[in-house]
Every structure is written in C-alpha cells, then in structure tokens.
Structure 1
Amino acid sequence: MITPTSIPTGARPSLVGSNIIDAGRVAHWSDAAIVARTCHELMENLPAARAATLRHATVHRIPLAVQAPLPGFEARRPAARSPVEGLLLAGDWTRTGLPSSMESAAASGWRAAELVGADTAARWRWAAAAAARPPGAGVDGRVAGRPVAASMRRATARRV
C-alpha cells in the first residue's frame, strides 16, 4: 500500500497492483528487488508517487499469469470487426494495442460497443486509444490519482 506523506482530509491511501510480463527473466530477483523496481517505475511515470510512503508490499509469484507473446503475435490478433457481417469480437485475445490482460478485455469490449454505436449512427466514445494515453492512464484515459471508482460510476458514455 502506498500512502502520500500528507493525506488530505477525506482522502484514502492507494493500493497498487502490478504484473510482470515474461516474469521468468526476473524469477531470481528477491521480493524486495521486485518491490523496489516497481516503486522506481511508479515514481518515473507518476511523479506524485515520489511523495508517497510504501506501507506494505506483497509479491505473489503466479507462473504463466500473464502471457509472454512471441514476436509477430500481435499481427495475428483479430480486430473487433470480423469479416462476418454483424459479428463483432471482444476479449483480451483481440487486437487492442495492449497485452492480453483484464485491461485489454475491457478495452476490447468498449471498442466493440463503439462499433455498435458507429453502425447505428450513435457515435459513442468509450475507450481512449492506447497510444494516446498518458503514462499511468487506464483504458478510459484517466491518470492515477483520480479514483478509478469515479470513472466507473459514469451512467453514460461521452458522446462524440
């Protein structure tokens, strides 16, 4: 758990989870080394994290939890719009620009919803493009520091 050194009234500490893709390359690292590297990367990408204090850390080693695709794999992932008229694809295995993960699955679902909207002339914008997101941003384009729950409470999408 990472907590800013001065927490504003009513604010809560942050809980940060991270995955290492192709973790075999760091399997010999100690838990402390993994935590230190994760903190370093957080501070590098989210400067506000430099003012935080690490209160607790746990490393779970789960073999094969995150895929390590081979070169050329991304080109084989199908787009959301399939060659079959009216059939849209969604899932972490589709081409999202993200590694196969829960974030990728959510992004692909939102992309499929955008295509449904485009096909029905109701142009909705559900997910920010992966390449256009600032470092540390989630699939909805929000940067850490703003409650994720608030972005998920939106009743409707933003109309384009």
Structure 2
Amino acid sequence: MTSGRTATVSTHVLDTAAGRPAVGVPVALAARPDRGAEWLPLGGSHTDRDGRCRDLPVPPQDTAHVRLTFGTGTYVAGATGAETLVADAAAATAPADAPGTADTADAPGTADGAGVTSGPAPSGGPAEAERDAPRAGGGGAFFPEVTVTFAVTPGEHYHVPLLLSPFGYSVYRGS
C-alpha cells in the first residue's frame, strides 16, 4: 500500500579529525520495498565543499528501507585532498617528547651527531604512528566504505550525517 508520498533522504560527511567537511566523498543510494526484497540502486552523488550531498535521488513511493554507501576509502586515500586524515592520525599518536618535537639530545633512541641511533627506540613515536595511520597506498583506509541501512516512513525526511575519522565513524538521524 502506498500513500502517494515518499520519504526523502539527505546526508553530509564531516571529517572529525580535521574539524571540517569531507569534500568529494562518493555516496550511493539504494532502496527496497521490504526486508526480503532486492536492493534497487537509485544513483548517487559526491559531497560538496560543505560536505553535503544536495542531489540524492528520491526513493520510490513503496520504499521501506534505504541504504547509503559512502566511499570513504577514496576520501581517506587523499583523492579529494583528505591527506589531513592521515597526517592528523600520525600526529595524534606521536608523544609530545618524540624525536623531532622537542630537544632530544640526551634521550635514549635518538641519533647522535654522526646519525647513529643509540638505545631502544621509544614506543609510541613517529614510526609507530606512521605504521598505524591509514595510507593512500597499498594499506588503504581502515574503513574503505561505510554502509548505513535504515527504515523509512513515507512522507518523512531522513537526514543521516556521517562523522568520519581515521579509525572510526558515527552516524545518526539528524534533522
């Protein structure tokens, strides 16, 4: 049974590591009339300079479930200028007294004047941060895509923001 009205969907993506909108994230929209039905791809868009998708297609009138798939791997890989996620992840895990961040002339694991490292390398330093940070190359993003499925009611509007960081994300029903 259809009511002649359809649900509408909007979204935006915020890069919480950089504290700004995530620009250029591909977003695909699909719908289905009930739980057992096949997904119908409806199209997609990319986030704009405000991190918003302003032109997502309208789901059919009989839609019961909507699925948004965010191409976060493209964003994290830096294809859209998202290198801030990688740099911020590395900087966030480096301790304040790591080599290169303070005077470390006498600290263990630092290079002497001849470029020789003495003592054990401090844990949690830049090497560890670099290893753990998502990369634009072979390692890829920790979450290469984020898929969010939710139920809809005809005539209602659903705004579903994605808050993205290098190793986590959050979604909620906005207004």
Above 0.5 in TM-score?
A: no
Structure that is richer in strand per residue: 2
User: Structure 1-normalised TM-score?
Assistant: 0.28
Computing the radius of gyration from Cα coordinates, the structure with the larger value is 2
User: Structure 2-normalised TM-score?
Assistant: 0.26
